[in-house]
Amino acid sequence: MAFALVERYHLKSGFLEKWNPRKLPPVRDPNRIKRSSSIAEIAAYLVVCTWWIGALSSPVIVNTAEMRITLAPVWRYFFWTVLLLTAANAIASVVNLVRPYWTGARARMRLASDCIGWALFAWLCKANIVAEISVRNVPYEKTMQVARAINLWGARSLPVVIAVGVVIVALDVYRIIRVKRGNTYSLGGLTAIVGARF
């Protein structure tokens, strides 16, 4: 009955004669990468790399007359791995800028990159990364209590880091499945056929 009423009253108003499927918004391709996103990623990675090299290349991350914070020796492994991973992600963003669509290979590379990144942060949480804090006019025992507290809270944050990592990996896996199925392109072709017929 609803279709009969629509047909009866809208045909008289000329609604169906004026309707043109070519005026519909284009089908959004979820496998297409926005160039603005790639440009923002490249800029962010460059800023992070510059700051990472300038501020965190040494295990002594704060070295003033008032305070000194020293990280554990394992920091150098974390530092270089994160730097290489960030540089690889920046290169991937440049490729995405030139070829703005997801492919199976690039989606799998993003999954691998995210897995490595979150595994690194999970490892950092458990690594007791703060080796020493010294503050002028503060007893060494007090500053070491602060260092131990930071390491303890880092370890306690591990479940949150893992949970966020699982969500990101799940989104990456969904992207791989979406690219593999290629539903977007079939929908785009269907829209083009319907538009051509009208």
Q: Give tens-digit pLDDT for 119-165.
A: 999 999 999 999 999 999 999 999 999 999 999 999 999 999 999 99
- Is this model's pTM higher than 0.85 or not? no
State both tokens at 121.
């942060």
Please choose, from the candidates 19, 16, 21, the residue with its C-alpha nearest in 3D space to the C-alpha of residue 198: 21
pLDDT of 193? 35
Among 157, 166, 95, 165, CA closest to 125: 157
Q: What is the pLDDT of residues 71-130, one digit of tens each?
A: 999 999 999 999 999 999 999 999 999 999 999 999 999 999 999 999 999 999 999 999
CA angle 33, 49, 86 (to 5 degrees): 50
Say what the pLDDT of residue 95 is.
95
Q: What is the pLDDT of residue 25?
A: 72
Residues contacting 167, CB < 8 A, separation 6+: none
Q: Are 48 and 79 in contact (CB under 8 A)?
A: no
pLDDT at 4: 73
